[in-house]
Amino acid sequence: MSELNMATSMAAGAADRFRPRDARDRCIVALDLPNVGAAQALVSDLGEAVTIYKIGMQLVFAGGLDLIAPLNAAGKRVFLDMKLLDIDNTVAHGVESIAGLGATFTTIHAYPKAMRAAVKARGALPLGLLGVTVLTSMDDDDLSAAGYRSDVSSLVASRALDAADAGMDGLVCSAREAAQVRRAAGPDLLLVTPGIRPAGADAGDQKRTLTPGAAIANGSDYLVVGRPIAAADAPARAAETIIAEIEAAL
Ligand code: C5P
């Protein structure tokens, strides 16, 4: 077995613990809201429609970590989207602290050293580690402006290989690249895809978007949906429509 295949199959054992059970489980709602009260109101509005929530920097810096325990107690899972990137020691201790909070997933920017430090620190703790390949708000021009010589497609592919090699459980990438990432990284890594927009929805700042059905057809395991649900007139109905589209595409 090649080193890559061995790393991929070791990751498979870990990733299996984090696989979605059904269509509803695949729809991660991003709680990108200004305060805990607004997040609690959305969670209560969504009720049984949603089983997994993403808490990112906007809500974390407004007290959002306090929502993890009540969400877990209500039978929901929490993806704490911290996009860690720092020296190995700091990433390692950050991962330990995030596991202690009860999050089911967190993110590490897909730099080999940071991912290896995260995987080592996670050990047997029940925390899924996702590598962020290239933000879905970035295109080739943005990468070039940031000093990268690769285009989005080649950088995503090489970071996917690095993540598999490091023993990560999955990747965050655009649904547009999901099929290519599958081919590069093998069948076992979870693919978590933001930049989801139902047909006709406003893209906002996202540049590499896809509809829920097309994302599933491309091999996404989980879809991250923020504004199309949070900013909808009827969020629970918007979530159910997306979940029905996921179900139909499975
Ligand atoms: O509102 P929208 O559906 O665009 O929200 C997408 C969510 O996914 C945001 O919370 C954003 O931070 C996150 N995300 C992303 N692209 C990545 C990684 C995370 O859009 N590559």
Encode pLDDT of 135-181 as tens digits: 888 899 999 999 999 999 999 999 999 999 999 999 999 999 999 99
In the predicted structure, residue 9 carries a pLDDT above the cut 80: no
| pTM of the model as a whole | 0.91
Q: How far is the CA of 58 from the centre of ligand 1 (A)?
A: 12
| Any ligand 1 atom below 6 A from CB of 32 | yes
pLDDT of residue 76: 97
pLDDT of residue 7: 44
The mean predicted confidence, pLDDT, of the chain is: 92
pLDDT of residue 193: 96
Q: How far is the CA of 112 from the centre of ligand 1 (A)?
A: 22
Q: Which residues are catalytic?
A: 83
pLDDT of residue 207: 81
In the predicted structure, residue 100 carries a pLDDT above the cut 60: yes
| Any ligand 1 atom below 6 A from CB of 51 | no
In the predicted structure, residue 14 carries a pLDDT above the cut 90: no
| Any ligand 1 atom below 6 A from CB of 26 | no
In the predicted structure, residue 62 carries a pLDDT above the cut 70: yes
- For 109, 141, 171, the CA distances from 203, given in Å and listed in that order, are 23, 18, 22
pLDDT of residue 13: 52
Shortest-distance atom of ligand 1 to CA 54: 10
| Any ligand 1 atom below 6 A from CB of 225 | yes
pLDDT of residue 2: 40
